Structure 1
Amino acid sequence: MTHLRTAAGGLLAALLLALLPATAGAAPSGPATAAEGPRVALSRTEGGKGGEITVSGSGWKPGALLMLLVCGRAEPGRGVVGGTNSCANTDGRAATVDARGAFSAKLPVAEPPVPCPCVVHVAGVTGQQDTVDVAFTVAGHPTAPLPESAGRPRLAVLASARLEGSSGVLVWFGAPARREIVVTLGNLGQTPVEDPVFEVGTSHGVFAPRYEERQWRGTIEPGRKALVKLPVELTAGAHGDYQVSVRHGGAVLVEQPWGVGRPWGVTLFWVLLALVVPAALFRIGMVVVDRVRPPLDGRRARGRTPAPAPTPVSAATSASASESTAVLPWFTPDSAPSETSPTTKGQA
């Protein structure tokens, strides 16, 4: 019995030792997969103008809206030199991530406005701000080497940023508020920075900023500084506490608060509208009533008994009536004194 227990124990130990290497080798695969983040794959890595490829991905945030572009002067891991100005924007496509975090879309092969090396650039527009570049060859398109320092951030903020500009009268009635964020940047690298592309975003409350590209025209020589002004614009009717962010090369350079007043002109407009519209409707109603109801004389005539019509009088009757009214009742023609009749005065 003892020999059987010893043999069973040895067999169990051997099985555990045999499974341990496999388990140890498989354990890191889970965290490594989770740490990879969003991924993108292409149906083929080369194509000519007018063709079409299928772009698919996984590991993205469900519901995110993505932008797919063919860009030049770019390499995976180094970004796109010049931003979307180096991409074939008119032939871009949009894709929405499904509930599993995956997407698949058709993308036409187009020639970017700058030479290759080229990539298929997948960037989050809403819901996710990640970007992934996959190398792609556009057949027949020119090729040129990238600058040695392309894609590396070399700019630093030398002074605090500020917002310049003022709101006009239209902003008081809900027009978009506009400002310029002004910042002094210095070139800490060894090569000039020509026409850098910045990303300017605005955020409100707990929402993440939505970035838009702004290209600054000019060159910052090594060891020199420059005053950079970038336009910022909010949506119509926006008000409250906002934060303006500027980033370059994936790094946030500036964060500046911006307090936007409430558009009281809109409130005043609705108050006046609430007063004017009822008054106008009342006036219109009174005019309609005056036109529909009968005249006042007609209403009075219907409310009383009509007077009898006067009896017609003939000419003879009127003449006799005039004669009778001409003679006094106490005087008649027969009683009038005559000149030949004697008077009673003086008689006995």
Structure 2
Amino acid sequence: MRTAICLVAAVFMGLPAAPARAGGQVAHLSRAGARPGDVLRVTGEGWEPGRLLQLVTCGAGGLSGSAACDMRAALATPVRTDGTFVVDLQVGDPPAACPCVVHIAGVQGETGGPVNLPLTVTGHATGALPAATAPVHELELQDHHLSGRTAAAWFGAPEHLELTFTVRNPTPSTLVGATLQARLGGGGDDNVFHTEQVTGLGPGQSRTFTVPVDIPLFAFGRYVVTADVGGLAGVRMTYNAYPWGLALINIAGALLITWGVLRRLLRRRELRHANPGDAMLPAVVRLGGLGAYLVFDDAPGARWLHGRAGAQLSLDGLRHLIGTGQQAGPSDSVLDLDALGHVLARRYPRGISLMEDT
């Protein structure tokens, strides 16, 4: 007898579940029973094309709102253009006792009403259905804004924003067991980043919610932040992340590089067309034979270079080192130091300093 009962139960769990209808909306489960963690195929037809649906495993017959549902295993899917959808749903472990259902409803609003597909969750506790209460089908959005933007976003810094919105319950029923969900879309992602249970919002009462919104580092493009309470009172805000400061820095850098290249080219052109008799020495001249540099007073950082040299040479001392001093013959020099002396004396009457090449 026990074997026969087990066989009947196994056959029952392998059969597809009977379809459930809400108006013209129809949905089916691939089988009527499963264990938490199993995957079921859910199909539907007659739904509004393009609508975003949420599917979740709920206890208490789906009558107690999202507080009786396993929101960790919730799944969202869009309706195809022909009004159908096909999705593989992982069976959750709802926090409320069975009877259990797969609850299907629109993410934004309740057009056409939700659909509950009965599901036997093997090994899950069972209990009585809760007392029926009039569900809240309407919430009013009173105010919403996105705050916290800083100037650092112009340079690609991450942003820590706050989405603040206020909703009011205009119905004669109390909102019980609804879920606040916030999504961030942009940069190729569209995911739920914040969930919060909402309960006890009585008739005529208002409540303000604050949701933290994190924009990633070097974000670029348009980000859309959406939030709703139980699929009602949807909020949609747009955040434009364009780090124009980085672009301006790059443009300024490119202009400086271009200006430097043009200045160098113009300098070379002037030198090519200059009179050889008017040629001037550069501000720093390296003397390879001495292993030293000639540093003139108008050289960039000349004071620092002079400090490092630790000593200065007069023009006569330089002549002696090069080989044109009193004890050197004319052939020992590789430079026409008389001509060099006239140039240096004319341009730098205060003399020059010599820094050792270390």
The TM-score range, normalised by the shorter chain, is 0.3 to 0.5
Q: TM-score, normalised by structure 2?
A: 0.45
Larger radius of gyration between Structure 1 and Structure 2: 1
